[in-house]
Amino acid sequence: MRQSPGGKGRTLPEYLDMPEVDALIQAAPHPQAMLLMLMQWRAGLRVSEALAVEVADLKLESERPTLTVRQAKGGRTRVVPVHDELSSALSNAIAYGQVRRGRLIRVTRSTAWRWVRDAAERAVEIGAIPEGMKVGTHTLRHSAARHWLSSGIPINVVSRWLGHASLQTTLVYLEILPDPLGEMGRVP
C-alpha cells in the first residue's frame, strides 16, 4: 500500500494506471470475469454492486447510456453513466446469450475476488503490473476514480458516480493525484 505523505502510517488506495487495468482485464480467466472487471473499472462499482446489476438496470439504447445501482452501500440507489467500452461489452453479453434477464453475473463475492486475484497474478507474470502490488476487486474502483479525475471529471461528479455519502470520502483521490489536470504548470 502507498503511504500518505506525512500521514503517520495512513495508507492510500492502491490503483492501477490505464495500461495496467487493460492488462488485468485481458488476463481475466473467462468472459464473465472480464465483464465483472470492466463493470468495476468503467462504472466504478464496488464488487457487491457489480454482482447485483440486473439486465433491467441497464439503459444502453439511450444517447447517454446509464446503469442504475440499486443495491449500493447504505441502501442508496444511484445512476451512473456507462462508458462506450462497457456499453459494448454489456450489449454483447446480452445479445449473445450470456444473460437475458436477472443478474448479469451470478457468482459469489469470493469467486469474483478470486477472478481478479488470478488475473492480477497472470498480469504480474507478464510484467504488466508491478510485482508486490496488492490488487483486489476494489483496486478497479480506485483506479476508475483516479482515471476520471485525471480526465477532468470534477471531484463532486466523481463522488456522485462512486456513491459516496460525503465529498470528504472522495478527497482521498486528490492525495494519490494531487494535480489531476496538471494545472500547476499553467501558473505563472
- Residue-wise pLDDT tens digits, 158-183: 999 999 989 998 988 888 888 888 88
pTM over 0.75: yes
C-alpha 139/C-alpha 13 separation (Å) is: 7
> Widest CA span of the chain, in angstroms?
57
145 in a domain, yes or no?
A: yes
- At 74 the pLDDT is 76
185 in a domain, yes or no?
A: no
Q: Which three cell numbers stand for residue 122?
A: 497472470
C-alpha 117/C-alpha 125 separation (Å) is: 12
Q: Higher confidence at residue 90 or residue 6? A: 90
58 in a domain, yes or no?
A: yes
184 in a domain, yes or no?
A: no
61: amino acid identity, one letter? E
Q: What is the mean pLDDT of the chain?
A: 89
- At 107 the pLDDT is 94
Q: Higher confidence at residue 86 or residue 183? A: 86
Q: Grade residue 1 by pLDDT with cuts at 50, 70 and 90.
A: very low
60 in a domain, yes or no?
A: yes
Number of domains in the chain: 1
Q: Grade residue 114 by pLDDT with cuts at 50, 70 and 90.
A: very high
| CATH code for position 28 | 1.10.443.10
The domain of 34 spans: 13-178
30 in a domain, yes or no?
A: yes
8 in a domain, yes or no?
A: no
In degrees, rounded to 5, the angle at the alpha carbon of residue 71 between the alpha carbons of residues 65 and 76 is 90
89 in a domain, yes or no?
A: yes
Mean pLDDT of 90-96: 89
- At 6 the pLDDT is 47
